[in-house]
Amino acid sequence: MKKKLLVAGAHSGDFVWRAAGTIAKAIEEGAETLVIAMSYGERGESGELWKEDPARSEDSVKKIRHAQAEQAAHILGTPILFLDWGDYPMLLTEERIKQLTAIIGDFEPTVILTHSEKDPFNPDHPLAFQAVQRARLLSSGAGVPSAFKNIDPPAWYSFEPHQPELCGFVPDTFIDISSVMEKKIAAMRCMGAQTYLKDYYAELASRRANHARRISGIKDIKFAEAHQSMVPRVTSSIF
Ligand SMILES: [Zn+2]
Protein backbone atom coordinates (compact mmCIF):
# COMPACT_ATOMS: atom_id res chain seq x y z
CA MET A 1 0.00 0.00 0.00
CA LYS A 2 1.23 3.50 -0.89
CA LYS A 3 2.37 5.45 2.19
CA LYS A 4 0.65 8.84 2.36
CA LEU A 5 1.10 11.32 5.19
CA LEU A 6 -1.19 14.29 5.74
CA VAL A 7 -0.06 16.91 8.27
CA ALA A 8 -2.72 19.43 9.28
CA GLY A 9 -1.76 22.54 11.28
CA ALA A 10 -3.96 25.39 12.48
CA HIS A 11 -1.26 27.93 11.57
CA SER A 12 1.29 28.00 8.79
CA GLY A 13 4.28 27.38 11.09
CA ASP A 14 2.90 24.48 13.12
CA PHE A 15 4.05 21.72 10.75
CA VAL A 16 7.62 23.00 10.88
CA TRP A 17 8.08 22.95 14.68
CA ARG A 18 6.17 19.78 15.39
CA ALA A 19 6.49 17.53 12.38
CA ALA A 20 9.15 18.72 9.91
CA GLY A 21 11.41 15.78 10.74
CA THR A 22 8.60 13.25 10.41
CA ILE A 23 7.64 14.74 7.04
CA ALA A 24 11.20 14.71 5.68
CA LYS A 25 11.70 11.17 6.98
CA ALA A 26 8.47 9.99 5.34
CA ILE A 27 9.63 11.48 2.03
CA GLU A 28 13.02 9.80 2.45
CA GLU A 29 11.10 6.52 2.77
CA GLY A 30 9.22 7.14 -0.49
CA ALA A 31 5.95 8.37 1.00
CA GLU A 32 3.72 11.00 -0.55
CA THR A 33 3.03 13.91 1.80
CA LEU A 34 0.69 16.88 2.00
CA VAL A 35 0.71 19.73 4.51
CA ILE A 36 -2.42 21.74 5.24
CA ALA A 37 -2.07 25.19 6.82
CA MET A 38 -5.57 26.12 7.94
CA SER A 39 -4.49 29.73 8.53
CA TYR A 40 -1.35 31.83 8.29
CA GLY A 41 -1.26 32.47 12.03
CA GLU A 42 -1.26 36.08 10.93
CA ARG A 43 -2.62 37.49 14.18
CA GLY A 44 -1.46 35.13 16.89
CA GLU A 45 1.81 33.63 15.67
CA SER A 46 3.48 36.47 13.79
CA GLY A 47 4.49 38.71 16.68
CA GLU A 48 7.95 39.46 15.33
CA LEU A 49 6.50 40.77 12.07
CA TRP A 50 4.08 43.07 13.91
CA LYS A 51 6.88 44.27 16.19
CA GLU A 52 9.01 45.11 13.16
CA ASP A 53 6.25 47.27 11.71
CA PRO A 54 3.06 47.73 13.77
CA ALA A 55 1.49 49.66 10.88
CA ARG A 56 1.68 46.82 8.36
CA SER A 57 -1.56 45.27 7.10
CA GLU A 58 -2.86 41.82 7.98
CA ASP A 59 -2.64 40.99 4.28
CA SER A 60 1.05 41.80 4.13
CA VAL A 61 1.66 39.54 7.17
CA LYS A 62 -0.23 36.73 5.41
CA LYS A 63 1.92 37.16 2.30
CA ILE A 64 5.14 36.94 4.31
CA ARG A 65 3.90 33.93 6.25
CA HIS A 66 2.81 32.27 3.01
CA ALA A 67 6.28 32.72 1.52
CA GLN A 68 8.03 31.50 4.68
CA ALA A 69 5.94 28.35 4.98
CA GLU A 70 6.24 27.64 1.26
CA GLN A 71 10.03 27.90 1.51
CA ALA A 72 10.07 25.56 4.54
CA ALA A 73 7.83 23.06 2.73
CA HIS A 74 10.10 23.27 -0.31
CA ILE A 75 13.15 22.42 1.81
CA LEU A 76 11.34 19.37 3.20
CA GLY A 77 10.08 18.47 -0.29
CA THR A 78 6.37 18.50 0.51
CA PRO A 79 3.43 20.22 -1.17
CA ILE A 80 1.50 22.62 1.09
CA LEU A 81 -2.06 23.81 0.86
CA PHE A 82 -3.13 27.12 2.46
CA LEU A 83 -6.79 27.36 3.48
CA ASP A 84 -6.70 30.95 4.86
CA TRP A 85 -9.41 30.32 7.48
CA GLY A 86 -8.19 33.17 9.72
CA ASP A 87 -6.70 32.77 13.21
CA TYR A 88 -7.18 33.81 16.85
CA PRO A 89 -9.95 32.97 16.82
CA MET A 90 -10.29 30.38 14.09
CA LEU A 91 -13.90 29.49 13.39
CA LEU A 92 -15.28 26.17 12.18
CA THR A 93 -18.18 26.18 9.75
CA GLU A 94 -19.99 23.39 7.94
CA GLU A 95 -18.38 24.64 4.73
CA ARG A 96 -14.88 24.35 6.19
CA ILE A 97 -15.51 20.80 7.45
CA LYS A 98 -16.74 19.92 3.95
CA GLN A 99 -13.62 21.46 2.41
CA LEU A 100 -11.34 19.48 4.72
CA THR A 101 -13.33 16.28 4.18
CA ALA A 102 -12.93 16.71 0.41
CA ILE A 103 -9.16 17.26 0.75
CA ILE A 104 -8.80 14.12 2.88
CA GLY A 105 -11.03 12.17 0.49
CA ASP A 106 -8.96 13.24 -2.52
CA PHE A 107 -5.54 12.72 -0.97
CA GLU A 108 -6.47 9.42 0.77
CA PRO A 109 -3.83 9.62 3.53
CA THR A 110 -2.78 6.44 5.30
CA VAL A 111 -1.58 8.54 8.25
CA ILE A 112 -2.84 11.89 9.57
CA LEU A 113 -0.83 14.02 11.97
CA THR A 114 -2.41 17.02 13.68
CA HIS A 115 -2.73 18.92 16.97
CA SER A 116 -3.52 17.51 20.40
CA GLU A 117 -7.10 17.48 21.62
CA LYS A 118 -6.43 19.97 24.41
CA ASP A 119 -4.34 23.11 24.54
CA PRO A 120 -5.28 25.51 27.35
CA PHE A 121 -2.96 28.17 25.89
CA ASN A 122 -4.16 28.18 22.33
CA PRO A 123 -7.73 28.67 21.12
CA ASP A 124 -7.08 27.42 17.57
CA HIS A 125 -5.12 24.19 18.05
CA PRO A 126 -7.97 22.21 19.69
CA LEU A 127 -10.30 23.52 16.99
CA ALA A 128 -7.97 22.19 14.30
CA PHE A 129 -8.01 18.85 16.13
CA GLN A 130 -11.82 18.83 16.05
CA ALA A 131 -11.92 19.75 12.36
CA VAL A 132 -9.54 16.92 11.49
CA GLN A 133 -11.40 14.48 13.72
CA ARG A 134 -14.72 15.22 12.00
CA ALA A 135 -13.32 15.33 8.47
CA ARG A 136 -11.41 12.06 9.00
CA LEU A 137 -14.60 10.33 10.18
CA LEU A 138 -16.72 11.75 7.36
CA SER A 139 -14.22 10.89 4.65
CA SER A 140 -13.85 7.34 5.94
CA GLY A 141 -17.55 6.69 5.94
CA ALA A 142 -18.77 7.06 9.52
CA GLY A 143 -22.45 7.81 9.26
CA VAL A 144 -22.33 8.21 5.50
CA PRO A 145 -24.29 5.89 3.19
CA SER A 146 -21.98 3.46 1.43
CA ALA A 147 -22.97 4.89 -1.95
CA PHE A 148 -20.46 7.69 -1.34
CA LYS A 149 -16.75 7.30 -1.88
CA ASN A 150 -15.07 6.29 1.36
CA ILE A 151 -11.39 5.98 2.15
CA ASP A 152 -9.89 3.49 4.60
CA PRO A 153 -9.66 5.17 8.02
CA PRO A 154 -6.16 6.66 8.21
CA ALA A 155 -3.93 6.06 11.25
CA TRP A 156 -4.07 9.23 13.31
CA TYR A 157 -1.59 10.92 15.63
CA SER A 158 -1.24 14.15 17.57
CA PHE A 159 2.10 15.86 17.18
CA GLU A 160 3.80 17.36 20.24
CA PRO A 161 2.25 20.60 21.56
CA HIS A 162 4.40 23.36 23.02
CA GLN A 163 3.51 22.54 26.63
CA PRO A 164 2.90 18.79 26.44
CA GLU A 165 1.94 18.05 30.08
CA LEU A 166 -0.59 20.86 30.22
CA CYS A 167 -2.16 19.61 26.97
CA GLY A 168 -2.52 16.05 28.26
CA PHE A 169 -0.02 14.87 25.63
CA VAL A 170 1.54 11.48 26.40
CA PRO A 171 3.86 10.40 23.59
CA ASP A 172 3.69 6.76 22.54
CA THR A 173 5.53 6.99 19.23
CA PHE A 174 9.02 8.37 18.61
CA ILE A 175 10.28 8.97 15.08
CA ASP A 176 14.04 8.87 14.59
CA ILE A 177 14.68 12.02 12.53
CA SER A 178 18.49 12.02 12.84
CA SER A 179 19.05 11.59 9.10
CA VAL A 180 16.86 14.62 8.26
CA MET A 181 17.55 16.95 11.22
CA GLU A 182 19.50 19.33 9.01
CA LYS A 183 16.41 19.74 6.83
CA LYS A 184 14.30 20.45 9.92
CA ILE A 185 16.79 23.10 11.07
CA ALA A 186 16.83 24.66 7.59
CA ALA A 187 13.00 24.65 7.50
CA MET A 188 12.85 26.24 10.97
CA ARG A 189 15.22 28.98 9.77
CA CYS A 190 12.62 29.99 7.16
CA MET A 191 10.07 30.90 9.84
CA GLY A 192 11.35 34.42 10.38
CA ALA A 193 8.25 35.51 12.32
CA GLN A 194 8.98 33.02 15.13
CA THR A 195 12.78 32.75 15.31
CA TYR A 196 12.64 32.23 19.11
CA LEU A 197 11.25 28.72 18.57
CA LYS A 198 14.15 27.37 16.52
CA ASP A 199 16.53 26.63 19.42
CA TYR A 200 13.70 25.36 21.57
CA TYR A 201 12.59 22.76 19.02
CA ALA A 202 16.16 21.69 18.22
CA GLU A 203 16.70 21.08 21.95
CA LEU A 204 13.40 19.22 22.18
CA ALA A 205 14.43 16.90 19.31
CA SER A 206 17.64 16.16 21.16
CA ARG A 207 15.80 15.46 24.43
CA ARG A 208 13.23 13.22 22.71
CA ALA A 209 16.13 11.31 21.14
CA ASN A 210 17.47 10.63 24.64
CA HIS A 211 14.08 9.12 25.57
CA ALA A 212 13.93 7.15 22.31
CA ARG A 213 17.41 5.68 22.95
CA ARG A 214 16.49 4.61 26.46
CA ILE A 215 13.20 3.06 25.32
CA SER A 216 14.63 1.18 22.36
CA GLY A 217 18.32 0.64 23.03
CA ILE A 218 19.02 2.05 19.56
CA LYS A 219 22.12 4.07 20.33
CA ASP A 220 22.48 6.12 17.16
CA ILE A 221 19.24 8.11 17.49
CA LYS A 222 20.43 11.71 17.78
CA PHE A 223 17.16 13.54 17.15
CA ALA A 224 13.54 12.45 17.44
CA GLU A 225 10.00 13.79 17.23
CA ALA A 226 7.32 12.47 19.58
CA HIS A 227 3.69 11.82 18.67
CA GLN A 228 0.66 10.29 20.37
CA SER A 229 -1.65 7.89 18.57
CA MET A 230 -5.32 8.78 18.69
CA VAL A 231 -6.63 5.41 17.45
CA PRO A 232 -5.23 1.91 17.95
CA ARG A 233 -3.00 0.67 15.15
CA VAL A 234 -3.77 -2.67 13.54
CA THR A 235 -0.84 -4.82 12.43
CA SER A 236 -0.56 -8.38 11.17
CA SER A 237 1.95 -9.44 13.79
CA ILE A 238 2.94 -8.64 17.35
CA PHE A 239 6.58 -8.44 16.14
ZN1 LIG B 1 -0.24 27.17 15.92
Q: Is residue 117 in some structural domain?
A: yes
Residue 104 CA, ligand 1 centroid: distance in Å: 20
Q: Is residue 190 in some structural domain?
A: yes
Count: domains in the chain = 1
Question: In whole angstroms, what is the distance from residue 150 CA to residue 1 CA?
Answer: 16
Residue 26 CA, ligand 1 centroid: distance in Å: 22
Q: Is residue 21 in some structural domain?
A: yes
Give the count of beta carbons closer than 10 Å to the beta carbon of residue 137: 15
Residue 85 CA, ligand 1 centroid: distance in Å: 13
CATH code of residue 215? 3.40.50.10320
Q: pLDDT tens, position by position, for the chain (239 residues)?
A: 799 999 999 999 999 999 999 999 999 999 999 999 999 988 887 888 888 888 888 898 899 999 999 999 999 999 999 999 999 899 999 999 999 999 999 999 999 999 999 999 999 999 999 999 999 999 998 665 555 678 999 999 999 999 999 999 999 999 999 999 999 999 999 998 677 789 999 999 999 999 999 999 999 999 999 999 999 989 999 99
Which pTM was predicted? 0.95
Q: Is residue 239 in some structural domain?
A: no
pLDDT at 163: 95
Containing domain of residue 118, as a range? 4-229
Residue 92 CA, ligand 1 centroid: distance in Å: 16
